[in-house]
Amino acid sequence: MAVNVRNNEGLPRGNLVVDKRQPIEDESLSVIQELGLQAEDSAVHNEERRKVKRYPMSIALLLLFTSFAFGQKVILVTNDNLPELRARYGPKIGPKPLAASTTDPSVVQIGTFSDAMYTNGTAAYEFYWGTDSSGYYTGPLVFNNITVFANGTSQSSGSIDGTEALGILFAADPALNTLSPCQPLTYLSQTTVDGDLMSIYQSSCIVIALQIEFSTDPYTFTLLDGSSFTTFGISNTFLIPASDHAALYTECDANDFCSGKTVPVYAYKQ
């Protein structure tokens, strides 16, 4: 099914495609239902997508456009530019390996999705699939498109071959694009994390969505044990608030380097 989001404050907007055969985490599903999302048949949506002519961007061209990452909307993260990105966005930018939260053989973790909202009015949304640090599967993943939805806006990457990158960062800056940085932030409190005093701010987003469109539907890749895993052509991941928060929040250190929530990104067996 395709989830079409109404123009409510704080919600993603546009065509968030969900295959009705693909499971959605119970927690995310309850949030989607509470937000009043409307669904339509996926067959209609898939036919509409086939009619759209895509203009894929090659890895080399995208790396050229983002070699000096700042001032760009979509940044491929590599070992070469990661130090530069951390100097700009903070030391927590980069791959964030997580232990899979399920032992279900029909589910495979393929990466992580994170947000970070900053007190200067910007934000960064990251998806990492890099096999060097994750150890989830072997070989590169190939994407037809990757899209982030936030606060009634969206930003897409175009086609990406994961061979030459660890992941992708979407820079949300009102000076660059219309992808919402989930501002304004509301100060909540302070806490100590690993000996550092952190300021906690609540954002204006109650959900941020990552939509991955693989290069084929269905899509097959290789697991660590050498077996093949076939998944759906589209996968969705949602960042939602903790149960004791009304919206997503971010923690900022004394240098205003901030980090938010990180969740695993899964592929489901078709």
CB 127 within 8 A of CB 113: yes
pLDDT tens figures, 69-105: 445 689 999 999 999 999 999 998 998 877 666 778 8
């894929």: which residue's tokens? 56
Structure confidence at residue 2 as a pLDDT band (50, 70, 90): very low
The first and second tokens of residue 191, run together, are 């806490």
Structure confidence at residue 52 as a pLDDT band (50, 70, 90): very low
**Other residues' Cβ atoms within 10 Å of the Cβ of residue 9:** 9
The first and second tokens of residue 175, run together, are 């000076």
User: What pLDDT does 101 receive?
Assistant: 67
The first and second tokens of residue 73, run together, are 């909307």
Q: Is the pLDDT of residue 200 over 90?
A: yes
**DSSP 8-state symbol, 205:** -
User: What pLDDT does 72 receive?
Assistant: 67
Quote the Cα angle for 56-152-206, to 5°.
Answer: 115
CB 124 within 8 A of CB 208: no
Amino acid at 253: D
pLDDT tens figures, 146-188: 999 998 899 999 999 877 788 999 999 888 767 999 999 999 9
What's the per-residue H, E or C state across 30-78? Answer: HHHHHHCCEEECHHHHHHHHHCCCCCCCCHHHHHHHCCCCCCCCEEEEC
Q: What percent of the chain has pLDDT over 90?
A: 47
Beta-bridge mates of residue 264: 112
Q: State the Cα–Cα distance between residues 224 and 222, nearest whole angstrom.
A: 7
pLDDT tens figures, 111-130: 999 999 999 999 999 999 86
CA 78 vs. chain centroid, Å, equals 17
Q: State the Cα–Cα distance between residues 224 and 217, nearest whole angstrom.
A: 22
pTM: 0.77
Could you tell me which of 251, 254, 256, 260 has the C-alpha nearest to residue 90? 256
**Residue of higher predicted confidence among 240 and 140:** 240
Quote the Cα angle for 218-219-223, to 5°.
Answer: 135
